[in-house]
Amino acid sequence: MSSQELEIKNKYTGEIIDRIPADTPETIQAKIKRIHRNQEKLREMDFVERAQILSKFATRLRFKKKQLKELIVAEGGLPIKYSEWEIAIVSNGFKFCEWYYQFMEDKELTSIEGEKFAKIVYLPEGLAACVAPRNTPLSLPLYQLGANYLVGNAAIVKPSTACPLTMIEAYSMMEEAETPGIDALDIAIAPGRWAVDEFIKNDLIKVFLSISSSHTAKDILVSYARMLKKSVDKSMGVPMYTLPFKKFVFECAGNDAGIIMDDVNLEQVAKWNVDASYTNSGQQCFSMKRIIVHRDVYDEYIECVIREMEKLKYGDPMDPDVDIGPLGSRKILMMMEVMVADAKKYDAKIYTGAEKIDTGKDYGLFYKPTLVEIKPELCEDLSKAPFLWREEAFGPVRSVTKADSFEDAIRLANASNYGMRAVVYTSNLERIEIFKKKLEAANIYINARPMLTDITVALGGIKDSAYPPGAKYYPQELVYQKYIMDQTAKNLDKIK
């Protein structure tokens, strides 16, 4: 493949922001080799030193905030209001990244006999290849890069080619700052799936960290399996795979349930609900997608939500009052139309929305925030449930379903193949404990504000939302545990 040029367009105006050269398989392989060679430069520093460097880099991000925000808005279509959050999550994360050290401190173990010869230490896993999604031009790719840097892994990060400029800018800021160990980090600008294949076939890459849909993640495993198959050596009469294991970490889709019980201030919760569901036009994995409302307050709550939704302003994402920016791609617009059309086949009531602005181009595309009723009985057999219930709506269409009781709300929330987050609003203290226990998701938010940027906010999911399952912090996923039994003090006399 020969080198090609990518045109990055403003998602609202269609204006070309920049033309950048793309990588080829050869340049990607060369980058991997280079960062691998320089990995030791990272490991010459300890965790605390690397944490301090990232903390200082957070200051640079703050100084460049205005410029970065404008770039995020232009190439990502994110409203400028929301781009603040996009930067805050990563600049706070970097500023306080030493906080993660608590998860990787040496652990001294005490044996049953009370001896203390064994311990667990955490070591960097090795070179990581990361793939970031389109909805977050800065936070996720930079977080992937930073987490690897923090633990001492060389890393190559592939931002989405729909919006790579902010990440390129951040990387060059790190270069300008002469960040120690920057030679062990790189970014890959590669359109299409072939870049992933280049990553997984390379033996130097030990960790593959990808944020994508669950289906894309499974596709990647299939490619890896094919490569494994191809690597079989039969010269000794038995098949031996020459391609080594890799660690795969997938952050995938969310189809989060948000439960609203009958004992809450509906106006307040509706306000948070609309933020949680429609921020960034709902193009957010942890967005509240399946709204489940107790029957006794259902009608009143729908009214409150619609009132809040009507306040959402859409249009030019540079306008500080705009809440809903253009969609990231025509594919998303089509998906929203398909999901709403499919729901109509089930006689679903469309409470509001289901209108689009289609410029006929690949920019300036809008889908009006939409709320669709899905009847609870349709959710019993998942294979027959509406598409909107079964799959992640990565755009501004949300479903709302009536629950008979709190047990029914739990049943509905768990009727999904996904399990990233689950959100509950109730003032019943006893039930809160049951929700915490029974909801099938890796992250449970009870009566919490949406869009928290707190450093404790975890990623991860169960079911099809993440692999390996569970709530996680990236730095924790990028190290392995080493067990050390050192009985020198006890046995030196004997073995000398």
398 binds another protein (CB under 8 A): no
453 binds another protein (CB under 8 A): yes
99 binds another protein (CB under 8 A): yes
440 binds another protein (CB under 8 A): no
Strands (E), 381-478: 397-403, 418-419, 421-425, 443-446, 459-463, 466-467, 470-472
From the list 10-18, 79-87, 383-391, 416-424, the region that binds another protein by CB under 8 A is 79-87
From the list 11-19, 96-104, 154-162, 380-388, the region that binds another protein by CB under 8 A is 96-104
Please give the backbone phi and psi of residue 243, each rounded to the nearest 5 degrees, phi first. Answer: -75, 125
From the list 34-42, 83-91, 207-215, 407-415, the region that binds another protein by CB under 8 A is 83-91
Task: For the chain, state the CA radius of gyration.
Answer: 24
User: Quick one: tokens of 99?
Assistant: 């906080």
451 binds another protein (CB under 8 A): yes
Between 92 and 231, CB nearer to another protein? 92
Pairing type for strands 232-233 and 240-241 reads: antiparallel
The whole-angstrom separation of Cα 478 and Cα 54 is 17
244 CB-contact burial (10 Å; exposed 0-12 / middle 13-18 / buried 19+):
exposed
Number of neighbours of residue 100 by Cβ within 10 angstroms: 19
452 binds another protein (CB under 8 A): yes
Please give the C-alpha separations between residue 385 and each of 285, 286, 287, 470, in angstroms, as whole numbers.
21, 21, 20, 26
92 binds another protein (CB under 8 A): yes
62 binds another protein (CB under 8 A): yes
65 binds another protein (CB under 8 A): yes
We find the least distance from the C-beta atom of residue 370 to another protein, in angstroms, to be: 21
We find the least distance from the C-beta atom of residue 97 to another protein, in angstroms, to be: 8
Is the distance from CB of 373 to CB of 298 less than 8 angstroms? no
Size of the site for another protein (CB under 8 A): 24
Q: Which of 70, 84, 183, 408 is in the footprint of another protein by CB under 8 A?
A: 84
45 binds another protein (CB under 8 A): no
Q: Which of 6, 17, 20, 88 is in the footprint of another protein by CB under 8 A?
A: 88
Q: What's at 182, amino acid-wise?
A: I
From the list 57-65, 283-291, 299-307, 384-392, the region that binds another protein by CB under 8 A is 57-65
Q: Is 322 helix (H, G, I), strand (E, B) or coil?
A: coil
265 binds another protein (CB under 8 A): no
User: Quick one: tokens of 193?
Assistant: 């799936």
DSSP letter at 133? -
We find the least distance from the C-beta atom of residue 150 to another protein, in angstroms, to be: 13
From the list 78-86, 164-172, 336-344, 378-386, the region that binds another protein by CB under 8 A is 78-86
From the list 127-135, 234-242, 245-253, 447-455, the region that binds another protein by CB under 8 A is 447-455
Phi-psi region of 29 (alpha: psi -120 to 50; beta: other; left: phi over 0): alpha
We find the least distance from the C-beta atom of residue 177 to another protein, in angstroms, to be: 9
Subset of residues 353 to 392 that bind another protein, contact rule: CB under 8 A? none
From the list 5-13, 382-390, 430-438, 446-454, the region that binds another protein by CB under 8 A is 446-454
275 binds another protein (CB under 8 A): yes
70 binds another protein (CB under 8 A): no
Q: Which of 24, 29, 38, 55 is in the footprint of another protein by CB under 8 A?
A: 55
83 binds another protein (CB under 8 A): no
We find the least distance from the C-beta atom of residue 70 to another protein, in angstroms, to be: 14
The whole-angstrom separation of Cα 268 and Cα 257 is 18
Between 177 and 227, CB nearer to another protein? 177
Nearest residue to 128 via CA among 208, 28, 184, 190? 208
85 binds another protein (CB under 8 A): yes
Between 79 and 126, CB nearer to another protein? 79
Is the distance from CB of 404 to CB of 342 less than 8 angstroms? no
We find the least distance from the C-beta atom of residue 63 to another protein, in angstroms, to be: 5
The whole-angstrom separation of Cα 433 and Cα 435 is 5
Number of separate helices (H) and strands (E) present in the chain: 17, 25
We find the least distance from the C-beta atom of residue 72 to another protein, in angstroms, to be: 15
Is the distance from CB of 169 to CB of 176 less than 8 angstroms? no
Q: Is the Cα torsion angle 297, 302, 305, 310 positive or negative in sign?
A: negative
Phi-psi region of 315 (alpha: psi -120 to 50; beta: other; left: phi over 0): left
Q: Is 128 helix (H, G, I), strand (E, B) or coil?
A: strand
Between 38 and 453, CB nearer to another protein? 453
β partners of residue 328: none
Owner of token pair 């949300």 = 398
Binding residues for another protein (CB under 8 A): 55, 59, 62-63, 65-66, 81-82, 84-85, 88, 92, 96, 98-99, 101-102, 275, 279, 449, 451-454
